[in-house]
Amino acid sequence: MDKHIQISGSEREILPNARKVDQANPNEKISVMVIMRRHSVEQDTFAEMNERQFSKAHYTRQSFANNYFIHPDDMKILQDFADDYELTIKETISFAGMVTLTGTIENLNKAFSVEIAEYEHPHFRYRGRNGYVHIPERLSEIVQAVLGLDNRPQSKAHFRLLQSGKMFMRNNRKPASFTPIEVARLYNFPENIDCSNQCIGIIELGGGYRPEDMEQYFSKLGVPAPEIVDIEIDGATNSPTGDPNGPDGEVALDIEIAAAVAPNAKIAVYFAPNSDSGFLKAITTAIHDNVNKPSVISISWGAPESNWTKQAMKAMNKAFKDAASLGITVCCASGDNGSSDGVEDGSVHVDFPASSPFVMGCGGTQLEGTNGSITREIVWNEVNNGATGGGISSFFKTPEWQKNIDFPNGSIQDGRGVPDVAGNADPLTGYQILVGGQEYIFGGTSAVAPLYAGLVAILNQQLGRSIGFINPILYQFSSEDNSFRDITDGNNDTVGNGSYAAGVGWDACTGLGSIDGKKLLSALTTYYSTNMILN
């Protein structure tokens, strides 16, 4: 009999307010994702990518796939393990270090020394486990994570639907709303750019859209409806219900903003189950999609770092690092519950995946403007209608490109600061979005991720190259030019301890500030010509 050992960082707890109702059916077959160590043909050029700042060219998807692989000896060890426990290898994505195993719950319980059970939560039922995942010692050097034994909903969509009756902002002014094109104009995005050579990837963990809504929405805007491609992963599908306050609201918000901002860009929507393994599979599929080839990915789903297992965050961060090495920019919403990120323990928290150092974390502001000009922009914090997420990661260390920023007093000093940038997110100054044939006003940092994904598509089109991992450059620009509108008024405190206040320069509410699109394009043009960086 194998001696099993714990996988570090795999511990799960029963969800608050959930209770065990039964053992899982031992004969039910499920799939789990095993994350394996990878080998490379060449030395890992991108191992220190956050410090090299594009000193070398990006991989192509094909060259990446040719370079990274699971070693055959490691696969033999995993195959022997699977055979011993009557499990089947269903799929292997060697360059991503990802293997899918299927088997009965009874055999998976034995293989990973867990007890899978059925749990009932006030809002849903889920298959779960409690404690650590264990693996035989023979796998200890080659297996980094095992995901999917637990299928609890992992993430939430970070949007806010303006509810009727919430008619006044805290300054007692009536709410306003904008089309995405109007917001892009306020942020000085380059206009009338044909982005037909670009593809924007969008991750969705639920819901769907109706093609007729898209035709109606873009017809009203006066721009062509985009080509939308659905990529359905592990049984998830484009499944619209028409409910604007459910996942459909997120899907519509993402597509309509991104496509309005970047006309004629293809939109690739990756539908996946809302679990840790489903989320990772969606990201991996998008990054390595050699058909649609997205140059930028928008993610508006997430959860507090404390809701994730460490093994899942490590695995996803590795995927985001892969995206960086492939020249793909990833934009992630920073959350809609302020400095607490919705955790009711009296402490500050940040949202993942926005806290990954390999993504551009997108925070939120309240934006007012007339005649194409911004008249006022402050931190988004409406006591009863959301606040921008932001703070200091307790999991990821401070990346090199954030070493020179001033962290808030009393915060964790050695942590990744969130967000990097911000944009209009207050539903009281929100976006006009069509869902189920009806127009609604939406806000949330969910709107900012596709907004800036659209901007990245424009920049890629204009520059004739993929920007890719842009964070080090953004922080370099912040001290050199005026590509950002610094937000110095407001806070995102939802804990009650003053964390965090806006200030001059980077802050944990709005990052470097909102982006001036044309000025950023000019700065990037100069940067690339000066550094002679090749694609």
Query: In this predicted model, what pLDDT tens digit does every residue of 222-274 receive, in sequence order?
Result: 999 999 999 999 999 999 999 999 999 999 999 999 999 999 999 999 999 99
> Residue 325 — very low, low, confident or very high, per pLDDT cuts 50/70/90?
very high
Same domain, yes or no, for 349 and 269? yes
Same domain, yes or no, for 91 and 167? no
In this prediction the pTM is: 0.96
Same domain, yes or no, for 167 and 68? no
Same domain, yes or no, for 204 and 321? yes
**Residue 10 exposed, middle or buried by CB count within 10 Å (0-12, 13-18, 19+):** buried
pLDDT per residue as tens digits for the range 478-508: 877 789 999 999 999 999 988 999 999 999 9
Same domain, yes or no, for 356 and 457? yes
Residue 77 near residue 99, CB atoms below 8 Å:
no
Q: In this structure, what token pair is assigned to residue 126?
A: 């889920």
> Is pLDDT above 90 for 202?
yes
pLDDT per residue as tens digits for the range 89-110: 999 999 999 999 999 999 999 9
Instruction: For residues 168 and 176, give the distance between their C-alpha atoms in angstroms, rounded to a whole number.
Output: 10
Instruction: For residues 18 and 119, give the distance between their C-alpha atoms in angstroms, rounded to a whole number.
Output: 6
pLDDT per residue as tens digits for the range 383-431: 778 999 999 999 999 999 999 998 886 555 689 999 999 999 999 999 9
Provide the domain limits for residue 354.
156-531
Give one word for 246, left, alpha or beta, with left for phi > 0 and alpha for psi -120 to 50: beta
- Residue 51 has a pLDDT of 44
147, 179, 199 — which closes off a domain? Answer: 147
Instruction: For residues 51 and 220, give the distance between their C-alpha atoms in angstroms, rounded to a whole number.
Output: 45
Which residues are designated catalytic?
250, 254, 446
Give one word for 77, left, alpha or beta, with left for phi > 0 and alpha for psi -120 to 50: alpha
118, 147, 176 — which closes off a domain? Answer: 147
Q: In this structure, what token pair is assigned to residue 107?
A: 């055999």
Residue 253 near residue 431, CB atoms below 8 Å:
yes
132 Cβ contact list (under 8 Å, min separation 6): 6, 7, 10, 11
Same domain, yes or no, for 205 and 246? yes
CATH code (residue 351): 3.40.50.200
Per-chain mean pLDDT for the chain: 94
Instruction: For residues 36 and 82, give the distance between their C-alpha atoms in angstroms, rounded to a whole number.
Output: 14
Same domain, yes or no, for 131 and 167? no
Q: Which of 155, 220, 124 is nearest to 446 (CA)?
A: 155
Same domain, yes or no, for 307 and 343? yes
147, 165, 185 — which closes off a domain? Answer: 147
> Is pLDDT above 90 for 474?
yes
Number of domains, the chain: 2
Instruction: For residues 440 and 422, give the distance between their C-alpha atoms in angstroms, rounded to a whole number.
Output: 22
Same domain, yes or no, for 168 and 95? no
pLDDT per residue as tens digits for the range 33-71: 999 999 999 765 555 444 444 434 689 999 999 999 999
Same domain, yes or no, for 71 and 104? yes
Same domain, yes or no, for 130 and 187? no
